[in-house]
Amino acid sequence: MAADFDKSCHALQKPKVETYCGLVFGTFAENMPTLSDYFGPEMCGNIQRLLGRDMELLERFQHGLDGNWKLYMENVRDTYHASLLHSFMTTFRLGRLSMKGAVEVSKGGLHHLTYSIRSQDNDQGQYDAKEIRASKDDYTLNSPELLESWPEFECGTTLAIQSLFPNFSIQQLSNVITLRLIVPKGPHKSELTWWVLGAREDTPEQRAIRIRQSNLVGPGGYIAMEDGAVVGWVRRGVTGADDKKSVLAMGGRDVERISESRCNELAVRGFWQGWHGLMES
């Protein structure tokens, strides 16, 4: 290069990086708020609840999805599909719309949290490995210890799905704590990475429970593979319908901040409101 060439004037653009509860976030956007301001207090509360302690990586999965990354984020935010799509969850009482819970959307709609609490009285909160049984059918598991769990959190939350705009999600399914990052690989392809976490303070028995339960998630999981599959089905279903529009009116039309019902499209509206706000700016 010429003698007066100044590398500092021609370097790659550096992202702004900040860490929150051990998670590293980066952005090329200028004038970004701090992560705690960006997430807001409700979202920060759940991140701290799950990850505000020494965590360890237990497993990592990665797989492709046959659709646009935004279809997957719609799925993550669709708070009523579990009882329709994930029959395992309802059959074995991991998640039902009748359970106490709520949907919270951050200001402006960018992030969401949905959670539920499995009641000890009504929903057989602490599974007895020998007595696990579906409510109306006689389905049982040959290995019922798959769903053995312990009450990990004082708040009683047994299921929590959180999305942090644009493409990150934190999930608690019983004692399985996972992170999910979806990366676009083109208009109709994306790649999903899962990290399954444990706490350093886990006893050997708790660690074994987490690892066993993690068969519920990932590309071969009893529940989570269904979410990946429907992304491709939706993509194929909407092919040729470029002039059509989605209707997201369940539970109203606005982006309320919180709903005690999880049978609505509050969080999906929030995603698209946030998305359009950014795209138009």
Instruction: Give the binding site for Fe ion (CB under 5 A).
Output: 227
Tell me if 56 sits within 8 A of 199, measured CB to CB. yes
- In the complex, minimum distance from the CB of residue 112 to Fe ion, in angstroms, rounded to a whole number: 14
- In the complex, minimum distance from the CB of residue 118 to Fe ion, in angstroms, rounded to a whole number: 17
* Residue nearer to Fe ion on the CB measure, 86 or 210: 86
CA 214, CA 194: separation in Å to the nearest integer? 11
Q: Minimal CB distance to Fe ion: which residue?
A: 227
- In the complex, minimum distance from the CB of residue 12 to Fe ion, in angstroms, rounded to a whole number: 37
Tokens of 142: 């040959």
Q: What backbone torsions phi and psi does residue 133 show, to the nearest 5 degrees?
A: -160, 145
* Residue nearer to Fe ion on the CB measure, 55 or 192: 192
* Residue 25 CB coordination number (10 Å): 16
- In the complex, minimum distance from the CB of residue 161 to Fe ion, in angstroms, rounded to a whole number: 8
Question: Quick one: which H or E segment has residue 279?
Answer: helix 266-280
* Residue nearer to Fe ion on the CB measure, 104 or 227: 227
* Residue nearer to Fe ion on the CB measure, 173 or 199: 173
- In the complex, minimum distance from the CB of residue 85 to Fe ion, in angstroms, rounded to a whole number: 6
CA 71, CA 59: separation in Å to the nearest integer? 25
Please list the residues that pair with 18 across neighbouring strands: 25
Tokens of 115: 């959670």
